[in-house]
Structures are given as structure tokens and as C-alpha cells.
Chain A
Amino acid sequence: MSRSRFLKIFILLLILGSALILLFLLRPTDKGKKVNVIKDNTVIETLDLNEPLQKDYTFGSDVNTVVIKDGTVEVLSANCHNQICVNSEPISEVGETIACLPHGFLLEVVE
């Protein structure tokens, strides 16, 4: 393989590599996602998914502990009887929800 041909290949691969790196860095991150905390069909609070947080939501004797970390949100513990919300995987995509039906408690990721 001639020297100039090798050089052309090298330059093209270099362009490809730098383009990939540049585009990767320019890629918009998932900033600005929020999570709605809903109780009995009413949004009571909107939290930022990028700010780590642990918070108890207490209504009468109903307690749900919500944790936000690494851009995901989950229910750490709850005193509901079926524990479905606690067993739900952490959510992070817009539209995903975690529901605690016994408490009428819902988490929903929004833009």
C-alpha cells in the first residue's frame, strides 16, 4: 500500500473518530427531566430528577419514602400492604410511572 493511500485512510479514520467524539460530547443529556408526585390525582410536588433527594410523603398514616439518585426515581419504602411500589424498578424515562394504589400515590417522569 502506497504511503499517500495510507495517509488518506488515516486522515479519514481520524475525521470519523473526531466526528464521533464531537457528536458524543454535543449530544444533549437528559437534563430538565422532572418527576411529578401525585396524590389522589393531584400533582402535589414536582421534583428535579437530577437532584439527589430522599423524602417522606406522609398522608395520615400512609407513608411513602421517595429517593432520587443518578437521574432515576424509586420508592424506597412504604407502609402499604402490597409493596408493589417498593418492588418497582427505578424509573427515568418520560412517561414511566410508579404507582402505590393502596395510598393513591403516583410518581410520573415528565419533561
Chain B
Amino acid sequence: MKTKDLVLDGLLVAVGVALGFLESLIPFPLPVPGAKYGFANLVTVYSLYELPLIQTVLILMARILISGFLFGSLSSLLYSLSGAVLSLLIMILLKRQVPLLLVSIFGGIFHNVGQLITACLVTGTWGLFYTYGFFLVLVGSLTGLTVGILSKLFLRASERIFHGLR
């Protein structure tokens, strides 16, 4: 791995952790348990489009582990890990097929679906799927859309900022 890549990856991890912390300071307007904005996904979407896959995976894992150990507990780590892995898989699958906005929306949805599956496994009650499924898919698509729009702006801006750097 080149030094430039290493620096960029470190920077993106730091941005992801910071965004994750930042969003915990802003109260979520909808009364859905565990719902978050998922601004940190901005970093994942960005690296998915700009960097090789292996770097995207490394950045994601580093961000989750750091955020988990800094702000969360073991169970919250488990939830964000399962959500992030499923979300990333779906986004990789969709990336070449559909526009960024839709990729981000489905990323958001499957982040919540992954967490919901984990919640069902942990508690052993699949009924949770019916109780929260609708809200989590709805919230996931809304936050996914937001992150998608932000990612588009971010990608456009980064073309100028990182021009000549990479």
C-alpha cells in the first residue's frame, strides 16, 4: 500500500469516526428505536466509488472498530458490524447496475435490515421483523437518500480537492 493511500485511508477513517460521533449529538426526529442518520456511511459510499474495494473494506472495518470501542458497547459493535457488512455487500452488488442515489438508498435500508436480523437472532424473536420492519425500511431509505445526496456533493467536491493528489 502506498503512503498516499495510507494517508487517505486514515483521513477517511477519521472523518467517519467524527461523523459517527457528530450524529450522536443531533437528536433523531423520528421515534424509531435505534434509528440513526448514518452520516458515516458517506465515507463508505465515497470510498466505494473512488477507491479499490479492499481499501473500502479496510476503512469500513477500522471505522466501526474504532467507533465501537470509543463510544459503544460490545452489543452495539455487533449491530453496527452486521449492518455495515450487509449494507456494503448490497452496495457492491448494485454499484455497477444503478445510479449512486439508489445504491445509497439500498445501502441504508440493508444497514437496518442487517441490524434487525441481528436483533432477531440475539433476542430469538422473529416477530421483531414485523414490528420494526416497516419503520426501519422507511427510515433506511430516507437516511440513505440523504447520504446519497451528500455523497454526490462530496464526490464532486473531492474531484477538485484531490485533483493531482492521487
Contacts and interface: CB of A to CB of B under 8 A. Distances in A.
B102 A12 contact: yes
Contacts of A26: 130, 133-134
Interface of A: 5, 8-9, 12-13, 16, 19-20, 23-24, 26-28
Interface residues of B, number: 16
Contacts, number: 37
B134 A20 contact: yes
Contacts of A9: 98-99, 102
Contacts of A27: 130-131, 133-134
A5 B100 CA distance: 12
B97 interface: yes
Contacts of A20: 134, 137-138, 141
Closest 5 CB pairs of A and B: A23-B134, A23-B133, A26-B130, A8-B97, A24-B134
24 contacts: A5-B97, A5-B98, A8-B97, A8-B98, A9-B102, A12-B94, A12-B98, A12-B106, A13-B102, A16-B106, A16-B109, A16-B137, A19-B137, A20-B137, A20-B138, A20-B141, A23-B133, A23-B134, A23-B137, A24-B134, A26-B133, A27-B130, A28-B127, A28-B130
A26 B127 CA distance: 10
Nearest to B109: A16
Given A12-B94, A12-B106, A27-B133, 5 more contacts: A8-B97, A20-B141, A23-B134, A23-B137, A28-B130
Question: Which secondary structure dominates chain B's binding surface?
Answer: helix
Contacts of B133: 23, 26-27
A9 B141 CA distance: 15
Contacts of B97: 5, 8
B45 interface: no
B105 interface: yes
A12 B90 CA distance: 12
A13 B109 CA distance: 12
A29 to B, nearest CB: 11
B104 to A, nearest CB: 12
B105 A16 contact: yes
Nearest to A19: B137
A20 B134 CA distance: 6
A26 B97 CA distance: 30
Contacts of A8: 97-98
